[in-house]
């Protein structure tokens, strides 16, 4: 596997000013993520995992420390430059899908490419169709977002996150609104994407979801307290099959 470093953060700090009090959300974090990794960032609420994801996702800037994304230092970029980085190098999947309402799956997936002036109309349409095929929604391209189930909506969101060929996909509690079965299906999709070489960075607080990843990074009070490779990684498809057996057993 290619071990090219995609994300490298050094001694990262993030402080928030809440009234007169300074909240130290991140207190010197070092983390390196290489191409092809599937990382779960875990921790309780307030541990700093969301803050880290915002910074990794170029939605926020650190108070101090360095962040190298795909070789470039993000620290000195302005709002517009950050927007361009997000548009061309990153993909996002959110807990609540964040699809445009009453808009077709295809148009939702096309959205990131609309903001890239280098992509032509035909290219945009082709890439969006390919992404939807990849997430298994070939037959639902014209369906409106509000006519879809939660799992389908999250698939559309995943297709949207990968349509611009990002270097890394960030998922923020991407299974948080889904039932177990659908969560496993979504994890199976992420595993499949990861097997095809996509780097995925997955924020969750559910340990059983984290078991499907290759590496778990645990946060507490703004610091990494655990960073370990998963030796016995769960296969989501197998887990899904077991889930069916259990349901069957309950049925009896």
- 180 part of the interface to other proteins, by CB under 8 A: no
Give min distance, CB of 1 to other proteins, in A: 28
Strand, coil or helix: what is 24? Answer: strand
How many whole angstroms separate alpha carbon 172 and alpha carbon 203? 5
- The span of 87-95, 174-182, 203-211, 223-231 binding other proteins (CB under 8 A) equals 87-95
Task: Write the binding mask 34 to 63 for other proteins: x where contact by CB under 8 A, - elsewhere.
Answer: --------------------x--x-xx---
Which has the closest alpha carbon to 169: 154, 151, 185?
A: 154
How many whole angstroms separate alpha carbon 193 and alpha carbon 191? 5
Judged by CB under 8 A, the chain residues 88 through 127 that form the site for other proteins are 88, 92, 94, 96, 98, 100-103, 107, 111-112, 114-117
Query: What backbone torsions phi and psi does residue 167 show, to the nearest 5 degrees?
Result: -80, -25
Give min distance, CB of 201 to other proteins, in A: 15
Give the torsion sign (CA, 187, 191, 196, 197).
Answer: positive
Helices 105-114 & 150-162, crossing angle to 10 degrees? 30
Give min distance, CB of 86 to other proteins, in A: 5
How many whole angstroms separate alpha carbon 62 and alpha carbon 123? 35
- 19 part of the interface to other proteins, by CB under 8 A: no
CA angle (186 as vertex; 183, 187 as ends), nearest 5: 85
* Strand-strand pairing, 223-229 and 90-93: unpaired
CA angle (155 as vertex; 47, 121 as ends), nearest 5: 115
Q: Which is nearer to other proteins, 81 or 247 (CB)?
A: 81
Give min distance, CB of 237 to other proteins, in A: 29
Task: Write the binding mask 157 to 176 for other proteins: x where contact by CB under 8 A, - elsewhere.
Answer: ---x---x------------
Q: Which of 15, 34, 63, 84 binds other proteins (CB under 8 A)?
A: 84
Q: How many CB atoms lie within 10 A of CB 161?
A: 26
- 83 part of the interface to other proteins, by CB under 8 A: yes
Q: Which is nearer to other proteins, 101 or 251 (CB)?
A: 101
Give min distance, CB of 107 to other proteins, in A: 8
Question: Using CB under 8 A as the criterion, which residues of the chain lie in contact with other proteins when the complex forms?
Answer: 54, 57, 59-60, 79-80, 83-84, 86-88, 92, 94, 96, 98, 100-103, 107, 111-112, 114-117, 160, 164
């Amino acid at each position: 596997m290619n071990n090219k470093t995609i994300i490298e953060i050094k001694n990262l700090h993030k402080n928030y000013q809440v009234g007169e009090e300074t909240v130290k959300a991140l207190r010197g974090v070092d983390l390196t993520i290489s191409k092809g990794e599937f990382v779960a960032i875990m921790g309780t609420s307030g541990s700093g995992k969301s803050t880290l994801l915002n910074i990794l996702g170029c939605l926020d800037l650190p108070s101090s420390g360095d962040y190298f994304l795909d070789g470039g230092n993000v620290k000195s970029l302005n709002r517009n430059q950050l927007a361009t980085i997000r548009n061309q190098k990153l993909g996002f999947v959110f807990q609540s899908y964040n699809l445009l309402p009453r808009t077709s799956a295809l148009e939702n997936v096309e959205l990131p490419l609309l903001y890239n002036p280098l992509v032509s109309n035909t290219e945009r349409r082709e890439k969006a169709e390919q992404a939807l095929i990849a997430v298994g929604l070939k037959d639902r391209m014209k369906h409106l977002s509000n006519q879809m189930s939660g799992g389908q909506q999250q698939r559309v969101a995943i297709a949207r996150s990968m349509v611009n060929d990002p270097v890394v996909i960030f998922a923020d509690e991407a299974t948080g609104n889904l039932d177990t079965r659908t969560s496993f299906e979504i994890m199976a999709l992420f595993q499949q994407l990861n097997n095809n070489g996509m780097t995925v960075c997955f924020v969750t607080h559910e340990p059983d979801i984290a078991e499907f990843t290759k590496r778990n990074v645990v946060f507490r009070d703004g610091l990494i307290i655990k960073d370990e490779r998963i030796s016995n990684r769960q296969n989501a498809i197998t887990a899904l099959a077991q889930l069916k057996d259990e349901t069957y057993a309950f049925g009896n």
